[in-house]
Amino acid sequence: MAKAKSKPSKKKGSFLQSHAFKAFMAKLYGWGASVVILGALFKIQHWKGAGIMLTLGLSTEALIFFLSAFDIQKEYDWTKVYPELAVTDEHEEGESTAKKSISGEIEKMLEEAKIETTLVRRLGEGMNKLANTVDGLKEVGNAAVLTSEYAGKLQVASASLDKINESYGKAAEAMTLLSEASASSKEYFDQIKLATSNLTALNSVYELELNEQSKHKEIMSQYQDKLGEVLSNLSDVGSISVQIKDGFSKLNENLTGLNNIYGNMLSAMTYRG
């Protein structure tokens, strides 16, 4: 009965691990992703049928996730490539037993040579003291080296101080020249300020002159207008004078004719008398 039950599981496991199933799953991932992307595109662009496409895409994605649970990845036996990974409990117990046997053999050799643990301890302390002494000698050597380096650095510092003093001297000279230049600049700025004030005054005078010229021009324009009116009036007076002259001429002629008439009347009256 046990063998009959194990056969279906073996076939199922072999199908899930078969090349055909894995090839189908690889293609299904691509097909499902394209359907999901199309559903999202329809929804983003608000095209007709966007709800149906989005539902179809999400359903396809859910189906892919469901089937991916049966996509069992093949596990490789890395102990064949790295034998040190194949460490079992028996191997660990063997290593601990070997270590204990080695320490026991060392203790046995020390007992046979009549070497006590205190002697070994003293030997260790002596070795430590020797190591400390060697370290002290190294420190003394390092101190000597540091002393020579310190002397060299003092010489370099002395040379640097000389250069710094020289630089300070040049800086002092530069500051003196700068102060002199500042004084000259102050005089120059005072002259510029005075020239600016003079230009301002000259500009004011020029503005007054322009105003006077504009007023004079306006007065001359008014004078020309008045003169034109006077000339127009004079021309009118001239025409009136001509008319008066003509009237006086006619009046004179009429008086002359009247005098002639009166003269003739007087002559006639005198002749009758």
* pLDDT tens digits for range 92-130: 565 566 566 666 666 666 666 656 667 667 777 777 777
Torsion of CA 61, 65, 70, 72, to 10 degrees: 110
In a domain, 21, yes or no: yes
In a domain, 38, yes or no: yes
Residue 39 belongs to domain spanning: 12-72
Q: Evaluate if residue 60 carries a pLDDT over 80.
A: yes
In a domain, 129, yes or no: no
In a domain, 123, yes or no: no
CA distances from 164 to 4, 149, 158, 159, 172 (A): 100, 22, 10, 9, 12
Rounded to an integer, what is the distance from CA 62 to the centroid of its chain? Answer: 46
Q: Evaluate if residue 223 carries a pLDDT over 70.
A: yes
> Band of the pLDDT at 6, cuts 50, 70, 90?
very low
* pTM for the full predicted model: 0.27
**pLDDT value of residue 104:** 66
**Predicted confidence (pLDDT) per residue in 177-214, tens digit:** 776 766 767 777 788 888 787 878 877 877 887 888 88
**Predicted confidence (pLDDT) per residue in 128-152, tens digit:** 777 777 676 666 555 555 656 666 7
Torsion of CA 173, 174, 179, 184, to 10 degrees: 110
**pLDDT value of residue 49:** 92
In a domain, 59, yes or no: yes
Of 56-70, 84-98, 217-231, 238-252, the range with the highest mean pLDDT is: 56-70
34: closest CA among 55, 70, 68, 60? 60
Number of domains observed in the structure of the chain:
1
In a domain, 39, yes or no: yes
**pLDDT value of residue 245:** 78
In a domain, 250, yes or no: no
- Rounded distance between C-alpha atoms, residue 212 and residue 221, angstroms: 14
> Band of the pLDDT at 159, cuts 50, 70, 90?
confident
Q: Evaluate if residue 27 carries a pLDDT over 70.
A: yes
Share of the chain above pLDDT 70, in %: 67
In a domain, 156, yes or no: no
